[in-house]
Amino acid sequence: MEEDHQLCEAAKSGDINKVKTLIHSGADVSYFDAEGLTPLMHASKHGHALVVKTLLEAGAPWNALSPSNLSAGDFAMDAGYQEAFDILLNAGIQTELVLGNIARKENKIGDCNGDYLDDRVSFSEDKLMDSNSKAIMMAWEKPLMEAHAKAVCSGGGHILNIGFGMGLVDTAIQQYAPVTHTIVEAHPEVYERMLSTGWGEKDNVKIIFGRWQDILPQLGSYDGIFFDTYGEYYEDLREFHQHLPLLLKPAGIYSFFNGLCGGNAFFHVVYCNLVSLELENIGYSTQLIPLPVKDCLGEEVWEGVKHKYWQLDTYYLPVCQSIQHSE
Ligand SMILES: C[S@@+](CC[C@H](N)C(=O)[O-])C[C@H]1O[C@@H](n2cnc3c(N)ncnc32)[C@H](O)[C@@H]1O
């Protein structure tokens, strides 16, 4: 305990030799001191890049959170310590890449939103909620959905949207009068609502009821694709990306709802980088367009909603294209 406390102090003052000695003699690199901070957070807060690197190499968790929900990366980012920030960002990306590989190998992917799809949902003017009062979709996202629609419809032609929700993105897509507009929706009540509000009668609209995972063989290839589901994990998005080479035409535009780790600024940066890197590995470039969202997100928006899934001031809208085609 005494050694653990000393490790926090050495990390704070940037005493690399003492940090190394303490680690060597068994001090706990994941210790939380009385303030609820780890040695890595202390080092990051003061920009001691070498200490940050040493602690990470000794197994300090990059993603531990302080009582105010800040990680070491948030501390480095907020204080403008670029070198410490870069080391932490890299550590986060590498770890998540490895965890992703393990999840793939253990085949933990798939069937994760089964419970949600069996649950009741409730519609109101400004949100669509699940049975646990978690928001599936909220009206504050309308400007974001309009921007996504603009991006994926920029080449016209045949458009695919996965996940209808409140129909915000689909309403915006319709404004661009695509040749065909295919919508995939898996929840029975959302699907019923689509039919009762006339989506089944639009000339260019084709609705496919089912999970995207199950209806893939019914899909064609598209000029624009948007992906925004609910109750799924990053692994599902990653899995969807594996199908892009078949689903997206060579000059097509792909975008997805970028709510990745929307509750923590640093984790969000890690996942924005991770997803861009993974898309690059399968041949797609990603441009992240910053859109300010602070003004449309007052506290009152979240009244009655259990989980505040977005807490950041800027939304980064991804626009992805085949690298080969854009060269
Ligand atoms: C966040 S909402 C989509 C919001 C939509 N972008 C809009 O503009 O209103 C997610 C939707 O995806 C649907 N969904 C969830 N998992 C799905 C899956 N595996 N396949 C297809 N749709 C799914 C949900 O039922 C829900 O309607």
326 pLDDT higher than 90:
no
What's the mean per-residue pLDDT of the chain? 94
Task: Beginning with the edge strand found earlier in the chain, give each strand of the sheet holding 127-130 in spatial order.
Answer: 121-123, 127-130, 135-138
Nearest to 66 by CA among 112, 23, 34: 34
| CA distances to 65, 224, 262 from 153, in Å | 40, 6, 26
- C-alpha 144: how far from chain center: 15
Average pLDDT over residues 61-79: 97
* Cα angle 56, 62, 63; round to 5: 165
Q: Which of 185, 215, 227, 317 for a ligand 1 pocket mutation test, highest count of atoms within 8 Å of Cβ? A: 185
Which residue among 209, 218, 229 is best mutated to probe the pocket of ligand 1, counting the most ligand atoms within 8 A of its Cβ?
229
Summarize pLDDT for 226-254 with one digit per residue, the tens: 999 999 989 999 999 999 999 999 999 99
CA of 71 to the centre of ligand 1 (A): 30
- Ligand 1 centroid to residue 284 C-alpha, Å: 23
Asked if pLDDT for residue 102 goes beyond 80, the answer is: no
Instruction: Give the pLDDT confidence score for residue 108 in this predicted structure.
Output: 54
What residue ranges in 119-176 does DSSP mark as E strands?
121-123, 127-130, 135-138, 158-162
Q: Where are the alpha helices (DSSP H) in 181-296?
A: 188-196, 212-215, 234-242, 244-247, 265-281
For atom 10 of ligand 1, which residue has the closest CA? 229
Q: How far is the CA of 53 from the centre of ligand 1 (A)?
A: 40
Long-range contacts of 257-262 (CB under 8 A, 24+ apart): 257/141, 257/144, 257/148, 257/226, 257/227, 257/228, 258/288, 258/315, 258/316, 258/317, 258/318, 259/309, 259/310, 260/234, 262/309, 262/310, 262/311, 262/312
Distance 42 CA to ligand 1 centre (A): 41
Q: What's the 170 CA to ligand 1 centre distance in angstroms?
A: 11
Model confidence pLDDT, tens digit, residues 158-180: 999 999 999 999 999 999 999 99
- How far apart are the C-alpha atoms of 95 and 98, rounded to whole Å? 5
Average pLDDT over residues 6-16: 98
Task: Tokens for 161, please give them.
Answer: 């949207």
Please report the pLDDT score of residue 99 as a whole number: 79
Q: How far apart are CA 196 and CA 60, in angstroms?
A: 54
Nearest CA to ligand 1 atom 3: 165
Task: In whole angstroms, give the CA distance from residue 282 to residue 244.
Answer: 9
Pairing of strands 314-322, 127-130: unpaired
Q: Are 60 and 52 in contact, with CB atoms under 8 Å apart?
A: no
CB-hemisphere CA count at 13 Å for 15? 12
Q: Could you give the CA distance from residue 46 to residue 159 in angstroms, rounded to a whole number?
A: 49
Per-residue pLDDT band for 104 (boundaries 50, 70, 90) equals: low
Burial category of 30 from C-beta neighbours within 10 Å (exposed 0-12, middle 13-18, buried 19 and up): middle
Nearest CA to ligand 1 atom 13: 163
List pocket residues of ligand 1, CB cut-off 6 Å: 113, 136-137, 145, 162-169, 184-187, 190, 211-213, 228-232
Structural domains in the chain, CATH included, are 2-105 (1.25.40.20), 114-326 (3.40.50.150)
Q: How far apart are CA 265 and CA 201, in angstroms?
A: 42
Helix/strand/coil percentages in the chain, nearest 5: 45, 20, 35
Which atom in ligand 1 lies closest to the alpha carbon of residue 166?
Answer: 9
Q: How many residues does the chain have?
A: 327
pLDDT tens for 262-307 read 999 999 999 999 999 999 999 999 999 999 998 878 888 999 999 8
The closest-lying atom of ligand 1 relative to the alpha carbon of residue 161 is 6
Q: 238 C-alpha to center of ligand 1: Å? A: 16
- The rounded Å distance from CA 314 to ligand 1 centre is 22
Say what percent of the chain tops pLDDT 70: 96
